[in-house]
Structures are given as structure tokens and as C-alpha cells.
């Protein structure tokens, strides 16, 4: 039996995970910054889906809670006007929050980005998709080994 299959993660592995989460948030911020307004609203809408309104109040001075309230509670539709004042730093804070709530939502960003013609040309988006796919593959391999 391989001891690495049952051993708890080392400090280095934990650090890699934290660095990965930080770099993912930074890359999403860069993708957001480079995206056209329609794609920005689509990205924010995707990131808001797994979150409740109450949790959004504490993120980026409540800018996303305001967007959620304007959108209407049963349905979520983020308009381009809604993201006009959202900065890359706000999106980074949102991604950091989403990673704590739903890692699967962050992993699903790869599919959202690859289906969007406005985002596929970005170097940051390509790097982000690669990183997300690699992380998802590693997580599945760990799940199978457990």
C-alpha cells in the first residue's frame, strides 16, 4: 500500500492549495477586467448563484448584495448596468468567498469560460481554465484513491 494515499496532506500540499485558491481569485479578477460588459455581467451572475443574500452583504462592501436585490430574489439576472461599478478587486473578494462556500462552482467556471466567445481569447482566461481543469482532475483522483 502506498503511504501517500492515506497520509494527511503535508504543509507543502496545504500551501499549494492556498496558493492555488489565491491565484484562481486573481486570475478571475484579471479575466473580469479584460472582459466586455456583457461577459462581466455573465461572470458575476455565475459567481452569485451559489450564494445567499446575507452572505453577500459582507463581500466588497455589499455591492453584490445590492446587485442581487436589484435582480429580484427568485430569479437572478445581472445586467450590464449592474456591473458598471464592480471592480476587479470586488470580483477577487467574491471569488474568495465563493471558494469557501462552493468549490464546485469555481471548478465550473472552466465550462462557463470556454463557452463564452468573448472570453476565450484572453490569456488569463486560458490560464484560469487550465488551472481549474488541473485542480478538478486532481480532486477526482484524490476522491477515487480515498
pLDDT for 132 beyond 70: yes
Q: Give domain limits for the chain.
A: 12-141
pLDDT for 74 beyond 90: no
Residues written for the chain: 146
Q: What percent of the chain has pLDDT over 90?
A: 36
On whether the CB atoms of residues 44 and 144 are closer than 8 A, the answer is no
Q: Residue 36: its pLDDT value, please?
A: 92
For 96-114, the pLDDT digits (tens) are: 999 998 888 888 888 888 8
Q: Residue 20: its pLDDT value, please?
A: 65
Report the distance separating Cα 17 and Cα 142, nearest Å.
13
Pairwise pLDDT comparison (124 vs 13), residue with the higher score? 124
Amino acid at each position: 500500500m502506498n503511504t501517500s494515499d492515506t497520509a494527511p496532506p503535508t504543509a507543502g500540499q496545504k500551501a499549494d492549495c492556498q496558493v492555488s485558491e489565491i491565484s484562481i481569485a486573481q486570475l478571475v479578477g484579471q479575466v473580469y477586467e479584460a472582459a466586455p460588459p456583457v461577459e462581466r455581467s455573465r461572470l458575476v451572475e455565475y459567481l452569485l448563484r451559489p450564494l445567499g443574500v446575507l452572505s453577500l452583504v459582507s463581500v466588497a462592501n455589499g455591492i453584490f448584495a445590492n446587485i442581487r436585490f436589484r435582480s429580484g430574489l427568485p430569479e437572478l439576472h445581472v445586467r450590464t448596468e449592474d456591473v458598471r461599478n464592480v471592480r476587479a478587486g470586488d470580483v477577487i473578494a467574491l471569488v474568495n468567498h465563493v471558494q469557501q462556500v462552493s468549490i464546485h462552482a469555481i471548478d465550473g467556471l472552466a465550462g462557463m469560460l470556454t463557452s463564452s466567445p468573448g472570453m476565450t481569447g484572453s490569456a488569463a482566461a486560458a490560464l484560469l481554465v487550465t488551472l481549474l481543469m488541473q485542480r478538478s482532475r486532481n480532486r477526482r483522483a484524490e476522491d477515487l484513491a480515498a
